Amino acid sequence: MTALAHEPAQITTETTAATEDTTVVDLAQSSVRDLNQALHDPASTSTEWLVRHPAGKHNIAVGIDRALTMTVEGNVGYFFAGMHKSADITVTGNAGQGLAENIMSGRVHVKGDASQAVAATGHGGLVVVDGNASARCGISMKGVDIVVGGNVGHMSAFMAQAGRLVVCGDAGDSLGDSLYETRIYVKGTVKSLGADCVEKEMHEEHLAELAQLLAAAGRDEDPAAFRRYGSARTLYHFHADNSAAY
């Protein structure tokens, strides 16, 4: 029978120039564990990183907790930049589930699409997805800001407590189900709203906030083209009338 004859896939479409100061890691040669340990090393002074051939591997760049910049050329798997702090990192391709979950601060930018649960339970920082994000984007977000250039899937901002979600495309079913105080801005259509999520008026402070977020994400959409959604606050507040039910 014929032996395998294809070349390993060239998954990068961009090549970032590496300067002398750049630490270059090729994940076709070294392990994700080694990369992450190097990133966590308190003695490390490397502040510029370039990662090649991620090939969809999981857990890349999890737990960074210092200021550095990183570009990952290609597509990453689950939990990229989980528990992220301080650093500014970019993925040129797509990201799998749990992108920047539990992010505390810093910036994570995916130029392609992102899978489910973007920035799940994130506390701070900014997560930017230029393409589409799938279901449950911003689930339980606690202060992170998320800007999605494309669409978000169903159940996005589910139980979202704080922070801002900006969607430049469309939102799927049940947007903001069981919403707390996250503010949601959507430029396109919303397929349906989740429990206790309602459209709200845009005031000057919302337009200003949205303008800031879009600028931070490097986008030029007009804030006036967006609609705002927020909690009706009837679900998560205790009503004395209901005290007999407890």
Partner 1 sequence: MCGIAALQIKNPALRPQLGALLNTMLCEVIERGPDSAGMAVYDNPELTDQDSTVLSLLGADLGKTPAQIRTELDLELPEAEVAVEVLGHTTLVSGQATSQELAAALDTVLPAYDVIGRGRHVAVMKSVGNPRDVADAHDLVSMAGSRGVAHTRMATESAVTAAGSHPFSVADDLCLVHNGSFSNHASIRKELQRTGVVFDSANDSEVAARYIATRLEVGEDLETALENLSEVFDGFYTLVVTTKDGMAVVRDPISCKPAVVAETEDWVAMASEFRALAELPGIENARVFEPEPGQVYTWRA
Q: Is 151 in the site for partner 1 (CB under 8 A)?
A: no
Site for partner 1 in 77-106 (CB under 8 A): 77-78, 94, 96-97
Here the tokens at position 185 are 């801005």
Site for partner 1 in 21-80 (CB under 8 A): 55-58, 75, 77-78
Q: Is 17 in the site for partner 1 (CB under 8 A)?
A: no
Q: Which stretch binds partner 1 (CB under 8 A): 8-16, 103-111, 207-215, 229-237?
A: 8-16
Question: Of residues 106, 149, 153, 223, which one binds partner 1 by CB under 8 A?
Answer: 153
Minimal distance in Å, beta carbon 190 to partner 1? Answer: 16
Q: Is 5 in the site for partner 1 (CB under 8 A)?
A: yes
Q: For residues 7 and 92, what is the distance between their CA atoms, to the nearest angstrom?
A: 21
Q: For residues 25 and 81, what is the distance between their CA atoms, to the nearest angstrom?
A: 16
Angle at 237 between CA 233 and CA 239, to 5 degrees: 120
DSSP string, 117-146: STTTT--SSEEEESS-B-TTTTTT-EEEEE
Site for partner 1 in 155-174 (CB under 8 A): 155
The nearer residue to partner 1, 134 or 185, going by C-beta atoms, is: 134
The nearer residue to partner 1, 132 or 183, going by C-beta atoms, is: 132
Angle at 218 between CA 138 and CA 98, to 5 degrees: 25
List of residues 6+ apart from 73 with CB closer than 8 A? 11, 12, 14, 15, 16, 50, 51, 52, 53, 54, 92, 93
Give residues in contact with partner 1 (CB under 8 A): 1-13, 55-58, 75, 77-78, 94, 96-97, 113, 115-116, 134-135, 153-155
